[in-house]
Amino acid sequence: MDAKPKAIQTTKKEEPKPMKDLSYNPGAIEKKWQAKWEADKLYRSVIDERRKKHYALTMLPYPSGDLHIGHWYAMTPSDARARFKRMQGYNVLFPMGFDAFGLPAEGAAIKNNIHPKIWTYQNIERMRAQMRTMGAMFDWEREAVSADPEYYKWTEWFFIQLYKHGLAYRKKATVDWCPKDNTTLAREQVKGDDRVCDRCGTPVIKKELEQWFFKATKYADELLRFDGIDWPEFIKVSQTNWIGRSEGASVIFKTVPSGDDKAGDPIEIFTTRPDTLWGATFMVMSPEHPLVEKITTPEHAQAVREYKAQAEKQTDIQREAKDKEKTGVFTGGYAINPVNEERIPIWVADYVLMSYGTGAIMAVPAHDERDFEFARKFGLKVIPVIQPVGASHDSPLQGDTMTEAYPHEGVMINSGQFNGTPATNDKGMANPAIKAVTDWLEQKGIGKRDVNYRYRDWLISRQRFWGAPIPMVYCETHGWNPVPDDQLPVLLPDDIDEWKPTGESPLKFHPTWKNTTCPVCHGPATRETDTMDTFMCSSWYHLRYLSPQYDKGPFDEQEYNYWMPVDTYTGGSEHATMHLLYTRFFHKALRDMGITEGNEPVMQLRNQGMVLAEDNTKMSKSRGNVVAPDVLVKKYGADTVRAYLMFFARWQQGAPWDSQGIEGSARWIRRVWTLFTDPQIASDSAGAASEETRRNLRRKVHQTLKRVTRDFENFEFNTIISSLMELMNEMYKAREAGAVGTDEWKEAQEIYLKMMAPVAPHIAEELWTEHFGKPYSIHQQMWSSVDEAAAKDDVIEIPVQINGKVRDRISVAADAGEDEVKAAVMASEVIQKHLEGKEPKKVIVVKGKLVSLVV
RNA sequence: GCCGAAGUGGCGGAAUAGGCAGACGCGCACGACUCAAAAUCGUGUUCCCUACGGGAAUGAGGGUUCGAUUCCCUCCUUCGGCACCA
């Protein structure tokens, strides 16, 4: 039959009827569905006690102005997983908001003379619109913006709660100061060897200032425990390193009285090696140690004064440089080693830091590299007290001839009744020598078990405008008092016009803002003009999402009880020791104040990697290598951008962008479209498929479903896409074999679209609803379950190895018994050829996997 | 120096209970369609050799095993955390 005349005839007759547009037009489809989903409140999450909840959280962005590809990389795979969870039947909460306080807004204020609030809210509006193009299932009714007064009212309230519970306090301290951002920083926000500001990369300097702190160190031990939470190993390790717990003992050394007013002040030291006490041949104090002056004898006063002065002048980087030669001066004073009554000299040296331990140490040169270097330079005594095992006969350690310290395991010597006790490389009380000596010290009352941390309290004062005000008031007579709750929030003024950074908060220079009355006596008082670290705002945003309009408290308890804790949290790993540590501290502090429950806010944490530029460097505006998602969405559609971001790298690792690579994902989306919409397919040899074709199709579908389900669970997005591509390729082949129209084909289509829905929500909806006429919405469908029987292979091809080398492949029934398989192997000509008539010594049959012959 | 993660084709990567290394995609090559190009479709693509066959290969070396990308030991490289922290 000739089809051509017929076709011409049809066209003529049916001309008035417009042809359905069958080409894939992502721009139109995506806009259409985004509008409908929003109008229908498809992604509104409300408490439903009958269903299991799933709180999926992704880190909220700073409204810097434009959504970049990194935001997409963080958010769209997280969205896909949240969608998957939803299809699995969970009641999913997936909120979004803005971390809206922060420095760049002030930078813009200075540059463009625009109020930070205006700049910030303009950016938020722009980014919201950009985010809508992602087609994510954000519940916008739960949006929270940390710069909204309704939000920061509660940030202030939390501060007051912490203050009232003794967890917020003010003290004068040597603090880190960024000279570019003109503000103090928390220790976590100073990074790297060169101690630079985390935000701007400028090296920080030290300043002596009175600031507000949160008592995070109270939770040091608890923060080291990660019980019951599924967090990446390296985040836990980073936090553990940061907290830096070391176990040891504190010991009190009495000083030798040598003048009228120096009647033997005791000096406390901390050591992790109390087992080496007998080897302590001198003491070293930090130049800042308060007892230095008292201990120093008149003859040494001049030298000590000079040394202190030069130490003060040096920066931390100079002082803490590891290759720096040791310096120090003798004070003229002596201490008594409490374990053997030896008189030992007391020195001052800057290698001992006032900020750690007690600012004074016992020096054991034989077993500590730093002390050894110091002792050799200044000719101080070296007494070994740990002898390496085995070395004792031929070359025992000797104080005079040692060339380096011996900080390793051995046996105690020169240590009285402890001689012979084995000292291992174990730290703390796991070391028998340390344990024995510490127990003895406690018995004798000389010292006690002690623990020291690197971790410091969180400095939260910032000398900046655009942050939540610290709600404290100072009165000459009543000191510091919190602003009464009914006066919260302390609002930021709109009428500010001087932004120049001066090193003090712009609020200080506002003519009236700081003037208020004392909450106690109602007399004149002044407000704190510093604002809070923005990490304070982000420590609790996951709670504000629960009820952003709630005004009786920071959150609605009912919402809390249903949704918390966060089930999965996704975001960048650069926050390992900042936000992710602060938020844990915050939750524990709130728990102790009776505000939250449970020990941890976040159960499962996963970090995405970074999308690098095509030249393998970090994307930056100055390099001009930034990939703009808006342009990509316009060219390919959001579904393709989403798919490519999930496909192009291991999500938790990241990779350089590849502008050609995205074509592969675009092709996949288009080929799916064609496969499901091409009218030719429906007519071509439909229904003629053999039993085998249909069985194979169904098997592939269920095998894919199994893998995709598993990979979604494990955040392995790249293999989800490749499995879907593979199945699509199979379906094209099945189409050629006439599978279209069969029950297996229909099932394949349905499962395919459901698997695709979390990845590419728009095209999946369009095909599901418009082309197959299935009930709207695909995003409210249940995830299909795997038919294990269908997924099972019935005939498998297995390799046959001879001495570990694959020589042939044979086809056997999947459930074939060992004898059957063996027979099939022996029947192979190739195998017989390789055996050369020999009988295999051993035949290993691994069911369903392979056969291995040993000759 | 201590702690952690990772090293697989030209590239991103797959192989998730020790069992066919290189799935899927990019790129490249060839072919079909086209006047031509793009798009699309098809075929091939780890390396080496005397090439319908054979050998080597998952950072390097060793070990366990019939069999190791996978487990164990030593080392190298890259990335991240800590570091004069007593």
Task: Say what percent of chain A tops pLDDT 90.
Answer: 71
A327: nt with nearest C1' to CA? B84
Closest CA to A333 of A298, A281, A296, A280: A296
State phi, psi for A310 to the nearest 5 degrees.
-75, -30
Within window 690-719 on A, which residues have Cβ closer than 7 Å to strand B? Answer: 710-711, 714, 716, 718-719
Within window 192-221 on A, which residues have Cβ closer than 7 Å to strand B? Answer: 192-193
CB A678 under 7 Å to nucleic chain B: no
- Rounded to two decimals, the ipTM of the complex is 0.95
- Identify the pLDDT of residue A10: 35
Closest CA to A159 of A470, A566, A388, A591: A470
CB A150 under 7 Å to nucleic chain B: no
What residues contact residue A54 under an 8 Å CB cut-off, 6+ apart? Answer: A82, A85, A86, A90, A91, A92, A93, A567, A568
- Identify the pLDDT of residue A686: 61
Within window 611-650 on A, which residues have Cβ closer than 7 Å to strand B? Answer: 647-650
- Identify the pLDDT of residue A317: 62
Where do you find CATH 3.40.50.620 in chain A?
153-241+457-535
The distance (Å) linking the CA of A274 with the C1' of B23 is: 58
A807: nt with nearest C1' to CA? B20
Is residue A12 very low, low, confident or very high in pLDDT (cuts 50, 70, 90)?
A: very low
Continuous segment of H or E residues that includes residue A295: helix A292-295
CB A664 under 7 Å to nucleic chain B: yes
Q: d(Cα A645, Cα A73) in Å, to the nearest integer?
A: 6
pLDDT in tens, A500-526: 777 888 899 998 999 999 999 999 999
CB A661 under 7 Å to nucleic chain B: yes
Positive/negative CA dihedral, A733, A737, A740, A741: negative
Where do you find CATH 1.10.730.10 in chain A?
659-791
- List C-alpha distances in Å: A720 to A58, A363, A767: 20, 59, 20
CB A776 under 7 Å to nucleic chain B: no
DSSP-derived 3-state class of residue A127: helix
pLDDT in tens, A110-156: 888 899 999 999 999 999 999 999 999 999 999 999 999 999 999 99
CB A814 under 7 Å to nucleic chain B: no
Pairing of strands A461-462, A531-532: antiparallel
The distance (Å) linking the CA of A234 with the C1' of B62 is: 29
Is residue A718 very low, low, confident or very high in pLDDT (cuts 50, 70, 90)?
A: very high
Quick one: A488 exposed, middle or buried, by C-beta within 10 A (0-12, 13-18, 19+)?
buried
Positive/negative CA dihedral, A37, A38, A40, A44: positive
A610-613 long-range CB contacts below 8 Å, 24 or more apart?
A610/A70, A610/A73, A610/A572, A610/A654, A611/A69, A611/A70, A611/A73, A611/A645, A611/A649, A611/A654, A611/A655, A611/A656, A611/A657, A612/A654, A612/A655, A612/A656, A612/A657, A613/A656, A613/A657
pLDDT in tens, A769-782: 999 999 999 999 99
The distance (Å) linking the CA of A289 with the C1' of B40 is: 79
Continuous segment of H or E residues that includes residue A104: helix A103-112
Is residue A321 very low, low, confident or very high in pLDDT (cuts 50, 70, 90)?
A: low
Choice between A409 and A335, residue whose per-residue pLDDT is larger: A335
User: Cis omega (within 30 of 0) on the bond before A489?
Assistant: yes
Is residue A14 very low, low, confident or very high in pLDDT (cuts 50, 70, 90)?
A: very low
CB A668 under 7 Å to nucleic chain B: yes
Closest residue (Cα, C1') to B5: A234
Over residues A582-604, mean pLDDT: 96
What residues contact residue A312 under an 8 Å CB cut-off, 6+ apart? Answer: A287
pLDDT in tens, A806-852: 888 888 888 888 888 888 888 888 888 887 777 788 888 888 888 88
Over residues A440-468, mean pLDDT: 94
- Identify the pLDDT of residue A310: 87
Quick one: A508 exposed, middle or buried, by C-beta within 10 A (0-12, 13-18, 19+)?
middle
DSSP-derived 3-state class of residue A759: coil
CB A454 under 7 Å to nucleic chain B: yes
The distance (Å) linking the CA of A609 with the C1' of B9 is: 24
A728: nt with nearest C1' to CA? B24
CB A377 under 7 Å to nucleic chain B: no
Within window 268-287 on A, which residues have Cβ closer than 7 Å to strand B? Answer: 270-273, 286
Positive/negative CA dihedral, A547, A550, A554, A558: negative
A454: nt with nearest C1' to CA? B85
Positive/negative CA dihedral, A697, A699, A704, A705: positive
Within window 385-444 on A, which residues have Cβ closer than 7 Å to strand B? Answer: none
Over residues A212-225, mean pLDDT: 96
The distance (Å) linking the CA of A26 with the C1' of B27 is: 26
Whose structure tokens read 């299932």? A137
Q: Which nucleotides of B are covered by protein (CB under 7 A)?
A: 2-5, 11-16, 19-21, 23-27, 39-42, 55-56, 66-68, 80-86
The distance (Å) linking the CA of A663 with the C1' of B69 is: 30
Whose structure tokens read 């390793």? A408
The CATH class of the A245-453 domain is alpha beta
What residues contact residue A369 under an 8 Å CB cut-off, 6+ apart? Answer: A404, A405, A407
The distance (Å) linking the CA of A835 with the C1' of B20 is: 20
A270: nt with nearest C1' to CA? B86
Is residue A417 very low, low, confident or very high in pLDDT (cuts 50, 70, 90)?
A: very high
Q: d(Cα A124, Cα A108) in Å, to the nearest integer?
A: 14
A683, pLDDT greater than 70: no
Weakest mean pLDDT among A89-98, A186-195, A228-237, A574-583:
A186-195
A322: nt with nearest C1' to CA? B84
- Identify the pLDDT of residue A200: 87
pLDDT in tens, A634-652: 999 999 999 999 999 999 9
Beta bridge partners of A173: A209
CB A827 under 7 Å to nucleic chain B: no
A303, pLDDT greater than 70: yes
DSSP-assigned states of every residue in A26-76: HHHHHHHHHHHHHHTTTT-----TTS-EEEEEEPPPP--SS--HHHHHHHH
CB A236 under 7 Å to nucleic chain B: no
A846: nt with nearest C1' to CA? B19
The one-letter amino acid code at A50 reads R
Architecture of domain A795-854: Roll (3.10)
Over residues A259-278, mean pLDDT: 83
- Identify the pLDDT of residue A7: 34
Where do you find CATH 3.90.740.10 in chain A?
245-453
The distance (Å) linking the CA of A409 with the C1' of B74 is: 22
- Identify the pLDDT of residue A311: 84
SS3 content of chain A, % helix, strand, coil (to 5): 40, 20, 40
- List C-alpha distances in Å: A110 to A126, A369, A503, A532: 21, 51, 14, 20
Q: d(Cα A202, Cα A198) in Å, to the nearest integer?
A: 8
Choice between A427 and A527, residue whose per-residue pLDDT is larger: A527
Retrieve residue A464's tokens.
Answer: 């900046």
Retrieve residue A788's tokens.
Answer: 């294990």
Is residue A409 very low, low, confident or very high in pLDDT (cuts 50, 70, 90)?
A: confident
Within window 18-77 on A, which residues have Cβ closer than 7 Å to strand B? Answer: none
CB A324 under 7 Å to nucleic chain B: yes
CB A552 under 7 Å to nucleic chain B: no
Architecture of domain A659-791: Orthogonal Bundle (1.10)
Q: d(Cα A211, Cα A846) in Å, to the nearest integer?
A: 69
> What CATH number has the domain spanning A153-241+457-535?
3.40.50.620
pLDDT in tens, A464-483: 999 999 999 999 999 999 99
Retrieve residue A107's tokens.
Answer: 């930078």
CB A801 under 7 Å to nucleic chain B: yes
Over residues A366-393, mean pLDDT: 87
User: Using the 8-state DSSP alphabet, how is residue A556 labeled?
Assistant: -
Q: d(Cα A534, Cα A102) in Å, to the nearest integer?
A: 6
A16, pLDDT greater than 50: no
Is residue A391 very low, low, confident or very high in pLDDT (cuts 50, 70, 90)?
A: low
Where do you find CATH 3.10.20.590 in chain A?
795-854
Over residues A651-666, mean pLDDT: 93
The distance (Å) linking the CA of A125 with the C1' of B44 is: 51
CB A370 under 7 Å to nucleic chain B: yes
